[in-house]
Each structure stands twice: as structure tokens, then as C-alpha cells.
Amino acid sequence: MMRALARLLIGLVVAGAAAAAAGAQAPAPVVTLTITGDGPPAVAGADRLPGGATTFRVVDHRRAKRGRDMALVRLEPGRTLADATPILARVGEEGPPVLRGVAAIDHWLSSEPGRIVTRTVALRPGATYALVEGDAAPIALAVGDVPPHPALAPPAATVTMRDHRFSGPAVLPSSGAVRVVNRGARYHEILAIRLERGARSRTVRRQLRRGVDPEKIRRISFSSFFIPPVAPGAVNDVPAATLRQGRYVLVCLYGDRESRNRSHVTLGMERAVRVR
Ligand SMILES: [Cu+2]
């Protein structure tokens, strides 16, 4: 899960806005990240970012097998990218909690080769962000002045992550957005594991809780409903269209020093849900 950060770091600084007057619901501004090779993405549309809902459009022109994951890191008030850079370099080794007090991973932007992936996130007004992936040189983005910021549209369902459990509805939609909120004090991730025909929910959940490698569990598949580890307080809307009708288990497979490297699912962080 740490592959993006382990590769090192680049930053693209996106700066939020001073709190602006609330205005009419305007469409969220769009930032386009274009990937054509192994280098950092080309960034367009990020020079006048307000806080609030912002749509990231990730265009990956490569003919690669795997997409790329970029962490959208929020700097804590008063911290600069120069403060955060040496600590970000330790995240691959030590995990995101090493950032505490300096920065927080609130969101991830993932690409899919040959496709366009969009993700709308709420950028905190007045905050500064860095897009972190690999070890290329940081791309600094000019910070513009700030128009009013729209809020995220209401989700179709909300799943809450705590230390160490999920809560939310037992049935999730397959359209609209599922909001995932981290109300824990730790970093958490979410992956929806699909139960294929013949899989017994109780058996699969027991195996997961025992720490069996999910790759070795039969009759399950991994959906693309996935958010890598995000910080306490992070709010992410995931398109429910990544879920097909059926039975799923939501799991947090993340583990770090705070959990003695045990995956959180072994601490009980799993929940059975149905998608309709
Ligand atoms: Cu967790």
C-alpha cells in the first residue's frame, strides 16, 4: 500500500484559500494531471484554487499495467514544504504517522493507464497541499486569489472509520458517492473485497481477522473501491459505481508501528456490506 510513497517524493503545491464568503453552488474547479511517461504529471488548472470541492482529473496516457497513486498531503498550519520534505522521505519506511504535526495524508489520486479517473475532494480553505509521489523534483504551483468555495455534494451513503472498526449502513448504493470519513486517531484505509459465488461471509471474515493474506483466500476479488491510508479527519468521496451488486467485506489492511505492524483487520476492522 505504500508503494507510492516508498518511491520517494515530489510535491506539487496546491494552496488553498483564505476562507471566502459562501456563494452560490458553483461547479468545483477542475485540476488536470496528465501522465505521459515515468516523470511527474503535468498539472493544469491549479493556479487559482479556492478551498472546498475540487475535482482532480487524472489522465494517464501510458500503456502500463498498473496505475499510479499520488498522495495529496496537507501541510499543518505554519509548516512549509521545506519542513515536510525530509519527513515525507521517511514515510515509505516508517509509515504516514511519522508526518504527525507536520503534514497529513488526506487524499489519494490514482490513475488508470489509458483512462481518465476523476476524484472530487474538499480542500481545506487556507491550507497548503503537496502532491507526493516518487522522487522527482517538486512542482510548485502558483497560488491564486480565492473565489468562494463550494461544498461537496451530499453523498448517497457514509462509512465511518474508527480505531479499529467500520460503521455505516449495511447496504451501500451502486451509484452516487460513498463518503468515507476517518473519525479515528490513526491512519486507516478502506478496500471493498467482493465475495464471489460460493464464498461464505463468515469464513472469509474469520480468515481475514486471523491475518490470512487476502491474496490466498479463495472466491473473493478485490474491487477498485479502495482508499490507501488517510489521516484522522480525512473525508473522501468514492464513486459507488466501483461497486457492483453483491456481497462485500470492507477491510482496513493497513498496519504500522502503532498497531505493531499488524493489519487493522486483525484488530477487528472489517464489516460485511451488501451492494444493491
Ligand atoms: Cu485501519
Q: Say what the pTM is.
A: 0.84
> What is the number of structural domains in the chain?
2
Q: Is position 229 within any domain? A: yes
91 & 211 share domain: no
CA of 140 to the centre of ligand 1 (A): 32
Last-in-domain residue among 80, 112, 140: 140
141, pLDDT greater than 60: no
226 & 124 share domain: no
178 & 53 share domain: no
Q: Which long-range contacts (CB under 8 A, 24 or more apart) does 195-204 make?
A: 195/219, 195/220, 195/246, 195/247, 195/248, 195/249, 196/220, 196/221, 199/247, 201/247, 201/249, 201/272, 204/249
Q: Is position 148 within any domain? A: no
CA of 219 to the centre of ligand 1 (A): 24
- Given a contact cutoff of 8 angstroms between Cβ atoms, the answer to whether 158 and 105 are in contact is no
pLDDT at 147: 55
The neighbourhood of ligand 1, an ion, using CB within 5 A, equals 188, 252, 254, 264, 269
C-alpha cell at 240: 459507488
- pLDDT tens per residue, range 64-93: 999 999 999 988 988 888 888 889 888 888
The band of 256, judged by pLDDT with boundaries at 50, 70 and 90, is confident
| Opening angle at CA 61, ends 57 and 62, nearest 5 | 130
117 & 17 share domain: yes
23 & 129 share domain: yes
The average confidence (pLDDT) of the chain is 86
pLDDT at 46: 83
Q: Which domain holds residue 194?
A: 157-275
Q: Is position 28 within any domain? A: yes
CA of 13 to the centre of ligand 1 (A): 27
CA of 268 to the centre of ligand 1 (A): 9
Q: Is position 99 within any domain? A: yes
167 & 124 share domain: no
127 & 178 share domain: no
Better-predicted residue by pLDDT, 113 or 129: 113
CA of 197 to the centre of ligand 1 (A): 27
Q: Is position 210 within any domain? A: yes
Q: Is position 147 within any domain? A: no
109 & 236 share domain: no
Average pLDDT over residues 106-128: 90
268 & 189 share domain: yes
pLDDT at 136: 57
100 & 186 share domain: no
247 & 179 share domain: yes
- Residue 206 belongs to a domain with what CATH number? 2.60.40.420
Q: Is position 152 within any domain? A: no
Q: Is position 59 within any domain? A: yes
CA of 34 to the centre of ligand 1 (A): 31
Which of 59-63, 64-68, 141-145, 181-185 bottoms out in mean pLDDT, i.e. has the lowest? 141-145
Last-in-domain residue among 109, 140, 171: 140
CA of 262 to the centre of ligand 1 (A): 10
pLDDT at 139: 61
- pLDDT tens per residue, range 32-57: 999 999 888 999 988 777 778 889 99
135 & 173 share domain: no
